[in-house]
Structure 1
Amino acid sequence: MEKEPLISVIVPVFNVAANLAQCLRSLLKQTYQNWEVILVNDASYDRTGQICRDFAAQNSRVTVIQQPTQQGVAVARNVGLAAASGEYVTFVDGDDFVDAAYLAHMYQQMQAKQADIVIGGYYELDEQAGNFIYYYPAGKVRSTVASTAEVLQQIGHNRIMTACGKLYRRTLFEEVAFPDGWLVEDICVVVKLYTAAQRIVLLDESLYCIRQRQGSMTRRLYSFQQYRDTLAAHFELVMDYLVNGYDPAPAFARLEYVLNYYRWYMKQQGVTDGTAYRQVMYYAKRMQALKKK
């Protein structure tokens, strides 16, 4: 019987001691057998490093890479990619967790449809409320082959614009890397991967759980760097559509959404006298004028 190809699971971690063990246990329980887990510890100062070392000591397929200084999730993912040996790659955040069939079902779709990317379904754990939020009914799994153009039309959807919860053919990353130091990097990277792919599968099955933590990055006040990186990522997003010959309307719509959100947010925070607000207003007005033409 032919051996299954190796799948590299890249897990960037930073101060996730409270939830990391659950994440790693979910990976060790995979029904798919041929995998490696690459933990990139981004200079955590809680017990994250020790938990990584404990799991690596218990399983030879778990590797720990210790970053000397905190450099961010983008660098950690690039470090993980450089160390990966698998024919296929997936990313899991250190405070999320996956179903035991996560790798098996994603790989089955990859093989059955001869795909380069499988975009899996996800569900959410709202820790504050103590509830799970499901988007795909159990027992009604649907798998669809989609063209790159069809996927790019959906760029505003959460599972389309994030790097996690997907299985990628490793060769797609030969000319693609996460932008070092950016706080918002997923959206412009996944679009490059989509345009490089020949076949993409949308798998409507709840396999990946996103933990919505109180105090997580998505719930904090926006820093100037996050504002700057978000805009840079969306400007690059528009450029990726244009240089690859795809209809840029979805990218412009996403950029307009971000600009309008920041305009509202800065007004709420009383930050309307700085260069950031003027930049937002400049592009927001130009985009409104462009829509009227």
Structure 2
Amino acid sequence: MTPAPLVTMIVPGRDIAAFVPAALDSLVAQTARRWRALLIDDGSTDRTGDIFASAAADDARFHVVRLPDSCGLGAARNAGLALVDTPYLGFLDGDDELSPHALERMMGTLDATGSDFVAAAYVRSRFDGSGYASGRIQPWVAAATSPERHATTIFEHPRASANIVAWSKLSRTAFWDAHGLTFPEGVAYEDQIVAQQMYTRATAFDVIPDAVVRWRVRADGSSITQGKAHLPVLRDYLAALRGGIRVLDDAGARSAVTARIELILAMDVPPLLAIAEEHPDPAYAREVEVFLDELRALPAFADARPDPDFAAALSW
């Protein structure tokens, strides 16, 4: 008899036929075998749905959920969350890849510590002209995940707040259920608020320095800051930054608020200011300046010391 799965991986995707086979292969290659994957086809118009169906036909651990219309990443993830019935859950975007030991390492850590979730490091995978090549762990990711810490909190380790992505974490399903965690829908940048809710609501979490995910920065520009030149995208982005800070601030995690401000000033603000200088709509510059004024008004702003090396590392 096949042992019951221990972890459910939620794998959303829309029109990613060129990339999703690598993501699915990275699941099949896991050294931890007791997983199942919910493949959420978010209204694809290419062969993504066919690839999902073929994977499910070949491996019973894959299960396909088809959304008739594109609902967005937040809603697609939530559709998967509603179906999780395993002790652990995690996320893998359909154009990214897991390292072979990712699930074994993260589940093993949680089994040993009893923490609510574990957050790991990750690397970017960029197109180099002939294919995708992985870079180094970036310094803000290293600051969040290294050295390894067990059963810590956001008050003890405020720099953990820099690791905002859903797909570098593995959680106890009971933790998500107990706190009613779901992703915001109909907006971009779904991860930020949820990540800070996880950090502030956890009794304890772990961080590990292992790079468990290769995050594909796609050559078509869909994953890079070019999208932020659009005013509606900028507004979603700033709303996510505000929301994440608000969660930390409401929890009284002032040092974590300072850490987020430092990172935002070093990494997020300079490219936004550069776009604002050239943007034809003066509303763009006004939105950025209002956001900066809000940051300056926060008590934690006085303690912020942005690291200029963080911005330089964006080119890795």
TM-score category, normalised to shorter length: 0.7 to 0.9
Q: Given the alignment, which residue of 182, 191, 201 partners 1:186?
A: 191
Q: Given residue 197 of structure 2, which amino acid in structure 1 is its aligned partner? A: K
Q: Secondary structure at the match of 2:18?
A: helix
Q: 1:152 to 1:225 in 2, by over 3 A?
A: farther
Q: Secondary structure at the match of 1:218?
A: coil
Q: 1:86 matched to which residue of 2?
A: 86
> How many pairs were matched up?
282
Q: Given the alignment, which residue of 279, 286, 292 partners 1:269?
A: 279
Q: 1:215 to 1:195 in 2, by over 3 A?
A: same
Q: 1:289 to 1:198 in 2, by over 3 A?
A: closer
Q: Secondary structure at the match of 1:205?
A: strand
Alignment pair present for 1:39 and 2:39: yes
Q: Is contact 1:152-1:191 (8 Å) kept?
A: no
Once the two structures are superposed, the pairs formed by residues 243-282 of structure 1 within 5 Å of their partners are: 243-247=250-254, 248-254=257-263, 256=265, 258-259=268-269, 261-271=271-281, 273-274=282-283, 276-282=284-290
Q: TM-score, normalised by structure 2?
A: 0.81
Q: Secondary structure at the match of 1:161?
A: coil
Once the two structures are superposed, the pairs formed by residues 64-103 of structure 1 within 5 Å of their partners are: 64-103=64-103
Please identify, of 30-39 and 117-126, the stretch whose mean Cα deviation from structure 2 is larger. 117-126
Q: Is contact 2:154-2:161 (8 Å) kept?
A: no
Deviations 1:208-267 (A, max 9, x none): 111222124232332223211111112211221122121132344455564554233121
Please identify, of 234-243 and 86-95, the stretch whose mean Cα deviation from structure 2 is larger. 234-243
Deviations 1:119-156 (A, max 9, x none): 122223222254321339xxxx9632232224433433
CA distance in 2, matches of 1:63, 1:98: 18
Q: Given residue 236 of structure 1, which amino acid in structure 2 is its aligned partner? A: G
Q: Secondary structure at the match of 1:238?
A: helix
Moved segments of 4+, more than 6 Å: none
Q: 1:166 matched to which residue of 2?
A: 169
Query: Offset of 1:7 from its aligned partner?
Result: 0.1
Q: Secondary structure at the match of 1:120?
A: strand
Structure 2: runs of 5+ lacking an equivalent: 139-145, 304-316
Q: Secondary structure at the match of 2:238?
A: helix
Alignment pair present for 1:128 and 2:135: no
Q: 1:59 matched to which residue of 2?
A: 59
CA distance in 1, matches of 2:192, 2:294: 23
Q: 1:5 to 1:54 in 2, by over 3 A?
A: closer
Q: Given the alignment, which residue of 229, 240, 247 partners 1:233?
A: 240
Q: Given residue 230 of structure 1, which amino acid in structure 2 is its aligned partner? A: Y
Q: CA RMSD in A?
A: 2.4
Alignment pair present for 1:50 and 2:56: no
Identity within the alignment, %: 26
CA distance in 2, matches of 1:110, 1:172: 12
Q: 2:205 matched to which residue of 1?
A: 200
Q: 1:209 to 1:56 in 2, by over 3 A?
A: same
CA distance in 2, matches of 1:4, 1:105: 19
Deviations 1:54-75 (A, max 9, x none): 0011122211111111111111
Q: Given residue 153 of structure 1, which amino acid in structure 2 is its aligned partner? A: R
CA distance in 1, matches of 2:302, 2:9: 46
CA distance in 1, matches of 2:288, 2:176: 32
Q: Given residue 172 of structure 1, which amino acid in structure 2 is its aligned partner? A: F
Q: Is contact 2:153-2:199 (8 Å) kept?
A: no
Q: TM-score, normalised by structure 1?
A: 0.87
CA distance in 1, matches of 2:107, 2:208: 11
Q: 1:261 to 1:155 in 2, by over 3 A?
A: farther
Q: Secondary structure at the match of 2:188?
A: coil
Q: Is contact 2:123-2:136 (8 Å) kept?
A: yes
CA distance in 2, matches of 1:82, 1:41: 15
CA distance in 2, matches of 1:134, 1:259: 23
Q: Secondary structure at the match of 1:10?
A: strand
CA distance in 2, matches of 1:128, 1:191: 33
